[in-house]
Amino acid sequence: MKIVFMGTPQFAVPALRHLVLNDYDIAAVYTRPDKPSGRGRQLAFSPVKQAALELGLPLVQPYSLRKEEAVAELASFEPDVIVVAAYGRILPQPVLELPEYGCINIHPSLLPRHRGASPVAGAILAGDEFSGVSIMLLDEGLDTGPVLSRARIPVMDGDTAGSLTARLSIIAAHLLLDVLPDWVKGRVKPRPQDEAIATCSGTIGKEDGQIDWRQPAVEIWRRVRAYNPWPGSYTRWLGKTLKILEAIPLPGVEDAGVGRVVALPEGGFGVGSGAGVLEVLSVQLEGKRAMTAEEFIRGQRHLVGETLPS
């Protein structure tokens, strides 16, 4: 069985590595073109490209899969199945029709919940008790194809988008290896998604990380976790960006006023919100290193009593 693998971020790497370790024939690896990164704007390889080069796999980085020559190049690999994991592009119909066993997509949510670009962050933002992985057949819609298999795991209070994605990537790799041979042998029946309960998680932008202290402390806490590592959660202090790296809502604490900074008995500080107080655990002021709230407040004692902007 020949496989073409398509993926870009770190989430996709364990699945690719597990396929290789289990002696699957990877005819080619497709990943997004290199992008400028960092202050020097040097071209950076995607995690999937780095893994493919390390594994010695054929690599293709097309700017589009909608051109005839791109489809012809893909067809030349004669894939029996295409495995997709966060590739970053919707596959056009000519590509979907190429492999005999279709295009199998690994999606980090319990479909039909949290379709779209940011399902892991979406689960944290929604306060979901569980997240998971769905293996599905791709169609021309956005994560709308029938599901072959699912696996779920609990969302822990300390989970960030980064830590939850890492856990899901390992679950995804094992689930793919369970499903793929059974699918090819006709032992798996695709199950249509229930459109009545479908939700969608949109693209996250840098501006989404700005904290609105008028929201309840629980909502802000979820955002701090959902936007870690990107775009991060931040407010403004002394004309600079103050990143809130870790925080937790304080149970049973009376409101302190929206955005008002209060000292805590343990030595740190909290911020009043639209409902309750958010205890800040660690921060990073623009141009400075990350530090605990206790360290920060010792050097910024005049912060207590001030009101942070919403």
Give catalytic residues, as residue numbers. Answer: 105, 107, 134, 143
- 10 Å CB burial of residue 121 (0-12, 13-18, 19+) is buried
Residue 67 neighbours by CB under 8 Å, 6+ apart:
none
- CB of 273 closer than 8 Å to CB of 214: yes
Q: Are strands 81-85 and 59-60 parallel, antiparallel or unpaired?
A: unpaired
**Calpha distance 97→140 (Å, rounded):** 11
Question: What single letter denotes the amino acid at residue 59?
Answer: L
**Beta-carbon count within 10 A of 263 CB:** 14
- CB of 277 closer than 8 Å to CB of 255: yes
The radius of gyration of the chain from alpha carbons, rounded to an integer in Å, stands at 22
**Calpha distance 310→305 (Å, rounded):** 16
Least Cα distance to 3 among 47, 52, 45 occurs for 52
Please count the residues of the chain. Answer: 310
